[in-house]
């Protein structure tokens, strides 16, 4: 199965979406400018470049007998994201398409160099130190953008190290946990009903948890903190199957959360907004309340693409893009979006179960978990299911770092499907 046909769906979505926007503008007799909508000539070269890269990558995928379903699923998400950005912040469409091309280029390189990259799994401690270093950078040199101090500004580009740190973390967890699976399950100490191994084995894990809490308190980046912590817990359980760790982690985060609620004002604000956004709907809780309004107004079928008012939500093109999609395209589109992620996750888990090498299996399952968990955290945040966090919706939201790191994860996931013969 080559699945070339599936690749036409994302292209179709993009072209249809852009046509609707042009037609709507014609009706209102507006002129094409940078602020209303981009001139097609500006971004078509990048569209062609992305299409070319897609064909090249898919050819590599077919040649190496990798999973041919994954790329079409992801491109669906990407095309919905591009159309939505063209509608919300037309001026940013070009930047996003440039980032898409860069991301796909990086993805191609990762797939080509995978055998070498895979060797990183042999150096768990180096990975651990790298991870701590990368995540520590913004703690020391970070710049605050949009309320979170998790940005590094290097001349003209702003980077979010945590976007790349999460990939290194994934490598570290896969490598460390597969090495120490047996040791970690040794019941060395019995403490109440918990069975714990010697402290020196779980020290790295506690380190990661602590780092996550630190990220939240110092960088005010609840999203990444939750993502890192969730990853660490889920990966540990996948590797060891020990419920003691899960319990320990929950206790740890519970205490940390209670302590930071008591000690730090911004933490308290976040939780109070979550508990009762209607207490201050025009102030602190404005974003969440507007997001709920967007989803409620959209209803089952949405207001129609281009006919809603998602502009009322601040930062709608990054963190809140899901609310904009539901407002204009309805619950149906929102659920389909979630299903795309679930399908990708399903392919990832399915692939992981076929791998013989424990570290590779953990890495692959981890890739799937990371993408799904990130989607879960941000969508839960914008719908008030969980406290609001500031992370991107992978592949959909506007953002260069997020796009590149998501495509690296995708390349890893794709490369690891190699063992499968023509699924």
Which H helix or E strand runs over 196? strand 194-196
Beta carbon of residue 226, minimum distance to another protein (angstroms, whole number) = 13
* Cβ closest to another protein, residue 160 vs residue 242: 242
Least separation in angstroms between residue 219's CB and another protein is 25
> Whole-angstrom Cα distance, residue 86 to residue 70?
25
Residue 56: partners with Cβ closer than 8 Å, 6 or more residues away: 108
CB of 404 to another protein, least distance (A): 24
> Distance (Å, rounded) from C-alpha 242 to C-alpha 236?
8
Cβ neighbours of residue 52 under 8 Å, at least 6 residues apart?
A: none
Q: Which is nearer to another protein, 72 or 230 (CB)?
A: 230
Considering beta carbons, is residue 81 or 334 the nearer one to another protein?
334
Judged by beta carbon, residue 66 or residue 184, the one nearer another protein is 184
Of residues 77 and 104, the one with the C-beta less far from another protein: 77
Question: Where do we find the tokens 């008591």?
Answer: 262
**Minimum CB separation from another protein for residue 365, in Å?**
5
Least distance between another protein and beta carbon 290 (Å): 8
Q: Considering the complex, what minimum distance in angstroms separates the CB of residue 300 from another protein?
A: 6
- 195 phi and psi, to 5 degrees? -110, 115
Which chain residues interact with another protein by CB under 8 A? Answer: 27-28, 181-182, 185, 234, 237-241, 281-282, 289, 292-305, 307-309, 312, 326, 330-331, 334-335, 338, 341-342, 345-346, 349, 352-353, 356, 358, 361-362, 365, 368-369, 372-373, 375-376, 379-380, 383, 385
Closer CB to another protein, 22 or 108, in the complex: 22
Question: Which residues make beta-bridge pairs with 194?
Answer: 191
- Rg of the chain over Cα atoms, rounded to whole angstroms, equals 22
The residue (of 136 and 306) whose beta carbon lies closer to another protein is 306
CA distance 191 to 394: 40
Bridge partners (DSSP) of residue 196 are: 189
CB 303 within 8 A of CB 327: yes
Dihedral Cα 119, 121, 125, 126, nearest 10 deg? 40
Shortest distance, position 100 Cβ to another protein, whole Å: 25
Between β-strands 143-145 and 148-154, what pairing exists: parallel, antiparallel or unpaired?
antiparallel
Cβ of residue 249: shortest distance to another protein, in angstroms? 14
Q: Which helix (H) or strand (E) covers residue 95, if one does?
A: helix 93-112
Closest to another protein by CB, 28 or 154: 28
CA pseudo-torsion sign 352, 177, 109, 154: positive
């Amino acid at each position: 199965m080559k699945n070339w046909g599936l690749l036409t769906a994302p292209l179709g979505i993009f072209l249809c979406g852009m046509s609707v926007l042009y037609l709507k503008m014609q009706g209102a007799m507006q002129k094409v400018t940078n602020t209303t909508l981009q001139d097609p000539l500006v971004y078509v070269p990048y569209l062609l470049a992305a299409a070319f890269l897609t064909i090249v990558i898919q050819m590599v995928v077919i040649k190496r007998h990798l999973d041919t379903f994954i790329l079409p699923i992801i491109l669906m998400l990407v095309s919905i994201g591009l159309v939505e950005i063209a509608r919300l912040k037309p001026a940013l469409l070009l930047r996003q398409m440039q980032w898409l091309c860069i991301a796909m280029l990086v993805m191609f390189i990762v797939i080509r160099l995978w055998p070498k990259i895979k060797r990183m799994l042999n150096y768990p401690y180096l990975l651990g130190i790298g991870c701590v270093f990368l995540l520590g950078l913004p703690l020391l040199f970070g710049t605050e953008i949009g309320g979170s101090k998790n940005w590094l500004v290097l001349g003209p580009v702003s980077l979010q190290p945590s976007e790349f740190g999460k990939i290194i973390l994934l490598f570290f967890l896969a490598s460390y946990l597969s090495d120490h699976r047996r040791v970690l399950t040794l019941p060395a100490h019995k403490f109440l009903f918990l069975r714990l191994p010697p402290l020196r084995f779980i020290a790295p894990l506690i380190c990661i948890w602590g780092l996550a809490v630190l990220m939240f308190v110092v960088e005010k980046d609840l999203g990444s903190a939750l993502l890192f912590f969730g990853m660490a817990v889920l990966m540990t359980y996948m590797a060891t199957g020990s419920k003691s760790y899960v319990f320990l982690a929950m206790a740890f985060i519970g205490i940390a959360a209670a302590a930071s609620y008591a000690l730090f004002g911004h933490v308290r604000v976040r939780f109070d907004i979550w508990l009762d956004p209607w207490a201050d709907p025009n102030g602190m809780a404005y974003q969440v309340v507007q997001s709920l309004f967007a989803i409620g107004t959209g209803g089952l079928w949405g207001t129609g693409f281009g006919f809603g008012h998602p502009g009322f939500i601040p930062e709608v093109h990054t963190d809140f893009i899901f609310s904009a999609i539901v407002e204009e395209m309805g619950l149906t589109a929102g659920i389909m979006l979630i299903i795309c992620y679930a399908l990708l996750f399903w392919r990832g888990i399915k692939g992981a179960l076929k791998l013989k090498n424990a570290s590779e299996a953990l890495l692959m399952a981890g890739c799937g978990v990371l993408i799904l968990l990130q989607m879960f955290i941000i969508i839960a945040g914008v719908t008030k299911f969980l406290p609001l966090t500031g992370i991107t919706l992978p592949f959909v939201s506007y953002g260069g770092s997020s796009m590149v790191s998501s495509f690296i994860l995708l390349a890893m996931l794709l490369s690891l499907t190699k063992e499968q013969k023509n699924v």
